[in-house]
Chain A
Amino acid sequence: MAVTEPWLSPSQAAVGKALLAAASLLPCLPSGARAETAPTFTSVSYKYLDYLDFQPDAERVRVIANAVNVVSPINERWSFSAGAVTDAVSGASPRYYTNALTKLEDYRRAQNISLTRWGSSGSVTLSHARSAERDYISKSLGITGVWYVDDTKNTAVTAGLGAARDVIDVPARGVNNEGKSVNDFLLGVTQVLTRNDVGQLIARYTTGHGYYTDPYKSIDERPRERSGYSALVRWNHHFPSLESSVRSSYRWYQDSFGIRAHTLGFEYVQPLANGRLVVTPLVRWYTQTAANFYLPANPGRNGRTYPAEDAVYYSQDQRLSAFGAQTLGIKSAIRVSGNTWFDIKYEGYKQRGQWALAGRSDASLAPFNARSVQVGISTRF
């Protein structure tokens, strides 16, 4: 695809904002079978993220994030987890496909907390998260239960319920006190298969209503309802002779916007130097169809594309087009002493319209790349 001048560059402001706000879409709780009993260690970890995305014409959004997390027993029946993250987004964004660059800067602060009650046949976790940035506030609540089917504890059933309430305010764009409510429901099973294999299947249903339109796009009007299903299959396999493990996952997704997506990922975990160093390369492939109201660019018109006169919903958000993507990454973790680990991870991401497995891709969209570096430290005592 030879596109010298991208017709439609992802609105950097929208992407930047999305990155900030997307961080608030934290899974409140890890799901499926965790440890069988309350933690006996207190774990503390910190991680730094430096994310940058770009296109051939060098437009960039940079996100710097700092996150901390603590998991600790309260006593033998109760434990809690608490975390906080701050993001800073900066960069330059074109308003339209002309090169008028607008400086972008925003901050986000989010916190989460959860409480778990441990029993002989399972556990229940209550969680709460909140996130605030200049124009977006989100608050959520979740409850998840894990039950072991019998005393072998080889089969765990998970059920979860979550609710999020968001408020969006962008007065400059005429968006005042808009709301969005999203509820989700999850059902999963985790099964120990052999000494070296464990699998997990999770089905999730999400439904929401409210303001879904992107206020930073001039030509964007989205339905006020969105519901979707996803099914996630994960498998961890250990190779005793190599002392290594492979973590595989596949996710199927479909929603009322018309998006259908597949995600396939593999991580290979290889301990070295008697377990003091752990190297983990990873690969992830992703493909999605376009939203049924996505408005493909009209390359003939040297300007914006307008929706049909009778169109109710339309969007030019690149994130709603059909595309495929690939991530390649590598992580190294080193045990610096006792129970303290230092880790560093690099990932490169490429997204291309022509890589979409299905759906009409928008050939006018510029290639989109991203790279991220994460550095972290964690300890337990």
Chain B
Amino acid sequence: MGAPAPDFNLPGLDNLPIDLKSLVGKLIYLDFWASWCGPCRLSFPWMNELHDQLGDQGLHILAVNVDAKRSDAMRFLAEARPTFQVAFDPAGLTPRAYNVRAMPTSVIIDRRGVIAASHAGFSTSNAALVRREIERLLGVSR
């Protein structure tokens, strides 16, 4: 928390590179997920909702997959159908850089590229609190 978010450059669904530096200025919700992670199944619909409702207010969701096999990740995505951006890190360098301790883990990076918050695991009850945190950081009034 409070530290600058480690930089990374990962391929997206179209295999074009996604660079963290290029996202400066947005509020980034960085989510580490895998096809074999149970709670990840529940987090995707919630992230879809976040993207639909707050995407045009400066929120950028980036879900980084850590599956060793791309085909496992694709099978998950076919069912989860994310509307947000997905990147692939089979080597696991990014979760290591972000000191991920559980799956899934979400990291909120503020508009200056500094880590504002980090949450291990996913639960719908906790998600409501995280959403309020995001709205506050976006300066969205309710």
Contacts and interface: CB of A to CB of B under 8 A. Distances in A.
Interface of A: 35, 37-41, 76, 120, 151-153
A40 B38 contact: yes
A35 B38 contact: yes
Interface string B102-128: 100000000000000000010111000
Contact of B121 (A40, A41, A120): A120
A37 B123 CA distance: 10
A265 B66 CA distance: 34
Contacts of B12: none
B38 A151 contact: no
A37 B101 contact: no
A41 B42 CA distance: 10
Main SS of chain A's interface residues?
loop
Contact of A40 (B41, B101, B125): B41
A39 B102 contact: no
Contacts of B39: 37, 40, 76
Contacts of B42: 40, 76
Given A37-B39, A37-B121, A153-B102, 6 more contacts: A38-B38, A39-B38, A40-B39, A40-B42, A41-B38, A76-B123
A197 to B, nearest CB: 16
Interface of B: 38-39, 41-42, 101-102, 121, 123-125
B29 to A, nearest CB: 20
A242 to B, nearest CB: 15
B89 to A, nearest CB: 16
B38 A152 contact: no
B125 A76 contact: yes
A242 B41 CA distance: 28
A153 B102 CA distance: 9
A151 B101 CA distance: 7
Which of A37, A38, A41, A120 has the most chain B CB atoms inside 10 A of its CB? A37
Contacts of A40: 38-39, 41-42
A153 B125 CA distance: 23
A139 to B, nearest CB: 33
Nearest to B38: A40
A234 to B, nearest CB: 21
A40 B36 CA distance: 11
21 contacts: A35-B38, A37-B38, A37-B39, A37-B121, A38-B38, A39-B38, A40-B38, A40-B39, A40-B41, A40-B42, A41-B38, A76-B39, A76-B42, A76-B123, A76-B124, A76-B125, A120-B121, A151-B101, A151-B102, A152-B101, A153-B102
Contacts of B121: 37, 120
Nearest to B42: A40
Contacts of A153: 102
A37 B38 CA distance: 8
B10 to A, nearest CB: 21
A144 B30 CA distance: 36
Contacts of A35: 38
A154 to B, nearest CB: 11
